[in-house]
Chains A and B, each alone.
Chain A
Amino acid sequence: MKSLTLDHVSFWYPATASPALRDVSLEVVQGEVVALVGALGAGASTLLLVAADLAPRVIGGRLAGTVARRDRSGIVLPTPWTQASGMAFTVRDEVAFGPANLGWPAHEIARQVDRALERLELVPLASRDPATLSGGELQRVIIAAILAMDPGLVVLDEPAAELDAESARTLWRLIRLLAKEGKAVLLATSALDALPEVADRVVWLENGAVRAVGTPDLLADVAVCDAGLGTSVATVWRAGGLREPYPLTVADAVQRWR
């Protein structure tokens, strides 16, 4: 079942002549993880804002084409510290902020909050003051806070940027779990090496337009590697002058080597 459909969407930021998105058509189905990759400024963040119904509704600008949404969406911005409510004294209260705003009954809020805290491994931090958290901890809190609102479409913009290796690994596993539970996940990330394990589909954005769509195998494509968007293994394989198809991961490479 389609959660999000973009049909020939173009988007212009307010007072800007050239579009940030050009004729983008994209579908995200429930239960799948779609990853956007591209150079900075390629339009991934803009696309996520459109997907989460924040552009043009909240930030202004002009949209051409149609956007069809089936589910409520939740977005984690690349600057999670701006999403903190500023009026919660504990992590638990911060995570409960969203669900309370949605008017849910107290027991439902408690259930969602507990689940979100557990999934992001935040239980030991539940009574901490969000203002004292490190960047990585706060990023996890905001992710928990958005998940606690139980969105059907989960939109994540560089969710692992501030996280260390262990937390990032937990996050990628959680994203797969969310898809398994039937949520649609749309994410933008520069952590290309994690995508083979995380994404069902990869969309390559260039200058606001979709350049290619495919399975994570796309990240071993010659053109993608040349654009600096291949996985590290694929890139180094190509640099060594070895033959295609390039392996995506270390495991793939070991198999090829034998």
Chain B
Amino acid sequence: MTGGRLHPFTLLAIAAALPALAWILPAPDGPAATLVVALVLTLTPGASPALTGIASSPGWRRGLVVFRTALLTAAPFWLFLLLLHDVPTTIAIGLRITTMVASFVWLVATLEPARLVEAMIAAGWSASIAYLLAATLSAVPVLKARARRIVEAQRCRGLSPRGGIAARLRALRALALPLVLSALHEVDERALALETRGLVPGIRRTPLAPPRDPAVEQAARWVLLLACLAALARRFIVPRFI
């Protein structure tokens, strides 16, 4: 299955439905099921290598990188939860958060910003809004690439990313500041740059390759929406009548 070939709206629908269901369905079975689905998705190939940064780590199979990223990103939340709550609550919330994280990571890895822009424009959205959404999605791999460059530059100045907790925290702090600063600085430059590439309000962008949207996928999106609504009804409305 190639997630990259599904219509972008379908991908968005799945990435929204899974976390929604995770929170609606009763714990721990509901969230566990959605988490399993989300994690299985992260293992499916089909994303462009550039999105996941695999181009620079050729040894890994694509899906494992996305899977691993999802788990590593969610791990700190479990730590905090354990400190604050008892075990059943931790599991319930943890599974839900992990589903959210895994869905988002999968989405970023699978959804090509260019295809999203094309899909939105074909559906009538304005180019500026489409680019805004796409830029948000592509922010993650861009930040990742930049973070890698900053870490390399810092290592070449003697900062070790390894070592004990104190050293790692110091390294993290040294990375955070320039990452945020340079990202903000670039937002400025980007606004100017996109102007130079013809982003003029009022002109309809020519779709270069609008993604196919087969009826099956459209139907599937409706089914997902209905499933979420049904689960919502079952959880909150039906019990009143019982």
Least distance between B134 CB and chain A CB atoms (Å)? 5
**In the complex, which of the residues B113, B135, B193, B198 contacts A101, with contact meaning CB atoms closer than 8 Å?**
B198
Least distance between A104 CB and chain B CB atoms (Å)? 6
**In the complex, which of the residues A59, A79, A101 contacts B197, with contact meaning CB atoms closer than 8 Å?**
A101
Q: Taking A87-B117, A88-B114, A105-B206 as contacts, is the C-beta distance between A97 and B197 under 8 angstroms?
A: yes
Q: Taking A75-B196, A132-B55 as contacts, is the C-beta distance between A101 and B205 under 8 angstroms?
A: yes
B90: CB under 8 A from chain A?
no
Which among A77, A93, A103 has the greatest number of chain B C-beta atoms within 10 A? A103
A15: CB under 8 A from chain B?
no
Query: In the bound complex, do residue A106 and residue B205 qualify as a contact, i.e. CB atoms below 8 Å apart?
Result: no
B37: CB under 8 A from chain A?
no
In this complex, what residue of A is CB-closest to B142?
A86
* Range class of the B interface residue count: 20 to 34
Query: In the bound complex, do residue A74 and residue B196 qualify as a contact, i.e. CB atoms below 8 Å apart?
Result: yes
Measured CA separation A79–B189 after assembly (Å): 9
Which among A83, A88, A96, A104 has the greatest number of chain B C-beta atoms within 10 A? A83
**In the complex, which of the residues B127, B196, B205 contacts A52, with contact meaning CB atoms closer than 8 Å?**
B196
Query: In the bound complex, do residue A59 and residue B192 qualify as a contact, i.e. CB atoms below 8 Å apart?
Result: yes
* Range class of the A interface residue count: 35 or more
Which among A82, A85, A88, A149 has the greatest number of chain B C-beta atoms within 10 A? A85
Q: Which residues of B contact A102 (CB under 8 A)?
A: 198, 200, 203, 206
**Extra contacts besides A77-B192, A82-B193 (13): CB < 8 Å:** A54-B192, A54-B195, A58-B195, A82-B186, A83-B196, A84-B193, A93-B114, A99-B206, A102-B206, A104-B206, A106-B206, A131-B50, A131-B145
**Residues of A in contact with B (beta carbons under 8 Å apart):** 52, 54, 58-59, 74-75, 77, 79, 82-89, 93, 96-106, 109, 129, 131-132, 145-146, 149
Ranked 4 nearest A-B pairs via Cβ: A101-B198, A87-B113, A83-B193, A82-B189
